[in-house]
Amino acid sequence: MHRYIQATAETFPVAGSFTISRGSRTEVEVVICTIEQNGVKGVGECVPYKRYGESIDGVLADIRAMEQAMSQGMDRHALQDAMKPGAARNAVDCALWDLEAKLSGKTVASSLLPVAPGPIVTAYTISLGDADTMADKAAENATRPLLKIKNGTEDDEARLRAVRAAAPKARIIIDANEGWTDENIEHHLKVAAELNIALIEQPLPAGKDSILSRINRAVPICADESVHLTADLASLRDRYDAINIKLDKTGGLTEALIMKKEAQRLGYTIMVGCMLGTSLGMAPALMLAQDTEYADLDGPLLLARDRVPGLIYEGSLVYPPKPELWG
């Protein structure tokens, strides 16, 4: 057996712009890993994330450094020790899942799930803007069952009230992207509870969130930047009610499955999320999200152009990937 590994970078335009508390983007850069064996190719996508010290060049180098190990037949399980968690390992891990499926003729879904996967509801994200702009976007999407709104400023109350008024029936997740503080979080939590917000994601900076163990969490709090590995989970239980599992953080589907099982054991509510990427990046996460409380896998809906073939979206429903895409 001889395997060949390649890594390439691609750029996709965002529909308009995408803004969070840390800045705006008009395009998304992804890295594609391709692993070939006996003329059969498996593919995986990752999104290097500057917040975690990652770059396109660094991720490309990390993947290409696996050339010798991969040529000798390294499998997903050995990969977990050979590469550090993060985007690069995610691309390689998902490429190996895809390759295994294509070599065996057995889909990833049939290997993992007790029943055939079905469509799931994904959140639809409204990026950060002024209250009127966010309300207009919420009104356009008010029939969607689940909205995720980007916050993370000193005073988000006006945004929250405007979005809730524009989408009175939708379940709403707030994602503050570490933008709130010890001084304003209790006020924002009070407003969120009044507006029947379903979940608040990462309100405080990772490592500076101890206040969450001491205040009344009237709305469930979800860890994102604070949780990367399964080993993180136990120490966060006094501060967080939910976790956001992203394959680019865990370093692939293999570790994400382990994290999900442990999170369920500890009693966390689980969200399966994503970086801003294409359908190829969402496809493995759909396997993980089949029985979770929340899915935030709307990356392709926020792009001006997705890859072909892509996932099928009908409103807020996203359907499992076809083998031509992944798995």
Q: In the annotation, is 150 catalytic?
A: yes
Q: Which residues contact 197 (CB under 8 A, 6 or more apart)?
A: 160, 164, 172, 173, 174, 219
Asked if 84 is an active-site residue, the reply is no
Given the residues 102, 137, 148, 150, the one annotated as active site: 150
Q: How far is CA 129 from CA 26, 77, 171, 180, 229, in A?
A: 15, 43, 20, 16, 32
Q: CA–CA separation, 141 vs 309, rounded Å? A: 25
**Catalytic hit among 102, 137, 148, 246:** 246
Q: Which amino acid is at 248?
A: D
Write out the two tokens for 182: 């010890």
Q: What gap in Å lies between CA 30 and CA 1, rounded to an integer?
A: 29
Nearest to 282 by CA among 54, 58, 94, 63: 94
* C-alpha separations of 91 from 94, 122, 193, 205 in Å: 5, 22, 38, 27
**Cβ count near 265 (within 10 Å):** 10
Q: Which residues contact 129 (CB under 8 A, 6 or more apart)?
A: 19, 137
Q: Which residues are catalytic?
A: 150, 246
